[in-house]
Structure 1
Amino acid sequence: MESRPLRYFVAVAEELNFARAAERLGISPPPLSRAIRQLESELGAVLFERTTHSVALTPAGEVLLAEARFALEALEAAGRRARRAADEPKLVLAMKADGDAGLLEAILARYASEPAALPVTFRLCAWQEQSRLLRQGEADVALVYEPYDRTGLDAETLAVEPRVAALAVGHPLAARAGLGLADLGLRLDEAHRYIDEVRGRGRDLAQLLTLVGLGDLFALLPASVADRYPRPGVVYRPVRDAPAAVLAVAWPQRSRSTATAALVRAAVSVADEKGERAAS
């Protein structure tokens, strides 16, 4: 199966309109319709239910859409990795600026002793951006907090930490020694969504803690943050029933890079020595 008909199919599946898909692809509708019919013939499956007024995916079309997106993304990633390999060899590590649970320095020191080690370049990224960078070939390995999109990725857990609430010193709950989610107005099933929404508001931890100190919000953060980032105007209080903060090292499933494997080994080794993987 060639990539062009898959690109045509994805455009129609996303637009659910042949005219708009053709415009997006820069072709006219008739050849697009012919390409889709030929693809259906090759697969022996109807991909779209067509009427004079609507276009809808069939069950077979829904399955192909998920697989086609992944396949096209993998092709583009292969090209990016090949272009990067043509330059000076290096390993690209994606992470948020504060997203290493205090392990990064030790990981890099251990990695430097590996025979397969390459110079490391950092790709500092937004909250939950690491998965996309790995799949698109813009990074080789990433440090990422769960939950994240695991599609096409392998991972090893590095640290499991309880969470603390970061509160402004004037917050009504700041005087309490410990908290529960209910004190913060959250249920367990809402906690991850709240964590994602709040972390998305700050480009980095310093910015987020500034908002906390101003009283604009509270944040649920890994417990290690309390020791690593003391800040005037902000207090940290343990939250006994909050979901754990789980840090992982992730890489593309199809990776055969010895340098990537060496960094993963170094990260797991450091985490094991520090006892972070067994923490609760």
Structure 2
Amino acid sequence: MRYFVAVAEELHFGRAATRLHMSQPPLSRAIRQLEADVGALLFARSPTGVTLTPVGTVLLDEARALLDHADRVRMRVHAAAGRATLTIGILGDGTDPGVSRLAAAYRRSHPGIDIRIRDTDLTDPTCGLRAGLVDVALTRAPFDATALTVRALRADPVGVVLRADDPLARRDRLRLAELSERRWFRFPQGTDPLWQSYWDGGRPREGPVVRAVQECLQTVLWNGTVGLAPLGHELPAELAVVPLIDMPPSRVVAVWKEGDTNPLIRSFIEIATTAYRR
């Protein structure tokens, strides 16, 4: 199920294999076996990637719920066993160099700690923190921070993602007002309103609903939809990003539950603050 969710969110077997730290052939075999077990195709395959079939779309919601439950079970078992474990939620792109520096520094200082990573989609900016699925989250603000403690780590300028053949893609910079008539991607109903408002550029928008980074990019590619993204991330050649001069930066933050005195979280925050300053 984890393999299936990774492919469904990346919509590309190669990217999913990289995310899962495995080669592509065993991932493809696992998905074919899952399709055989289900008795239906889960993905429509093409040379440029994959799309979910109607059966795959149904299974994706069920698989996410199943994996959330499995994470809760694992946390309860580890707590009962008394093992020193820190579960970290990571939103979106785990290839951020800040994450790599933080991981290396934390391993050096805490070699005996069992680290669990929960990679989450864009519908929950706290990465499962409120649901008790993680101890601390590396994510982006703003979001509802009630009963949470937030530590700012870095601020990234933001641009608009466009298809490379879009006339606006030739511009050096843009303003939000120049995108007022365009369709934007949106998050599902029930997503944190502060989070949704930021990625909407401060006003309600119309457009297709997405959950994951790759869904956002594919929506731009296929529909000409526009959306926002932090600058500095690699994009497919068919897409371009143009800086927005009137958009506040996207803040990378670490967040944990207010009042949580877990010493592993405290040391994690200290190391993260240093790692992201470089």
TM-score (norm 2): 0.60
- Give 1:55-70 correspondences, 5 Å limit: none
Distance 1:103 1:201 in 2: 29
Quote the residue 1:265 is aligned against.
270
For residue 96 of structure 1, report the CA deviation from its aligned partner: 2.0
Equivalent residue in structure 2 for 1:192, among 185, 188, 198: 198
- 2:182 matched to 1:182? no
> What's 1:85 paired with?
79
Rounded to whole Å, the distance in 2 between the matches of 1:200 and 1:94 is: 26
Partner of 1:59: none
Say which SS state the counterpart of residue 177 (structure 2) adopts. Answer: helix
Structure 1: any 5+ residue segments left out of the alignment? Answer: 1-78, 275-280
Code of the residue aligned with 1:230 in structure 2: it is L
**1:202 equivalent in alignment to 2:220:** no
Question: Gaps (5+ residues) in structure 2?
Answer: 1-72, 182-193
Alpha carbons of structure 1 residues 198 and 113: separation in structure 2 relative to 1, 3 Å: farther
- Aligned pairs (5 A) from 1:236-275: 236-272=241-277, 274=278
What is the CA distance between 1:82 and its match in structure 2? 5.8
1:244-265 deviation digits (Å, cap 9, x = unpaired):
1111000111212111112111
Which residue matches 2:22? none
Structure 2 partner of 1:223: 231
Give TM-score scaled by structure 1 length: 0.60
In structure 1, what residue type is equivalent to 2:122?
W
Task: For 1:240 and 1:137, locate their aligned partners in 2 and report how far apart those are by CA, in whole Å.
Answer: 38
Deviations 1:24-64 (A, max 9, x none): xxxxxxxxxxxxxxxxxxxxxxxxxxxxxxxxxxxxxxxxx
- Runs of 4+, deviation exceeding 3 Å: 79-84, 99-102, 195-203
8 Å CA contact 2:125–2:140 kept in 1: the answer is no
What residue identity is the alignment partner of 1:86?
A
Question: Identity, % of aligned pairs?
Answer: 22
Deviations 1:253-279 (A, max 9, x none): 12121111121111101112x2xxxxx
1:119 aligns with 2:127: no
CA RMSD of aligned residues (A): 3.2
**Pairs aligned (count):** 191
Q: CA deviation at 1:181?
A: 0.9
Once the two structures are TM-superposed, the CA of residue 134 in structure 1 deviates from its matched residue by 1.7
How many Å separate the matches in 2 of 1:199 and 1:154? Answer: 33
CA displacement at 1:201 relative to structure 2:
3.6
Q: Distance in 2 between matches of 1:109 and 1:199?
A: 40
CA deviation profile, 1:113-157 (whole Å, cap 9, x unmatched):
224862211112232525372233211000121111211111110
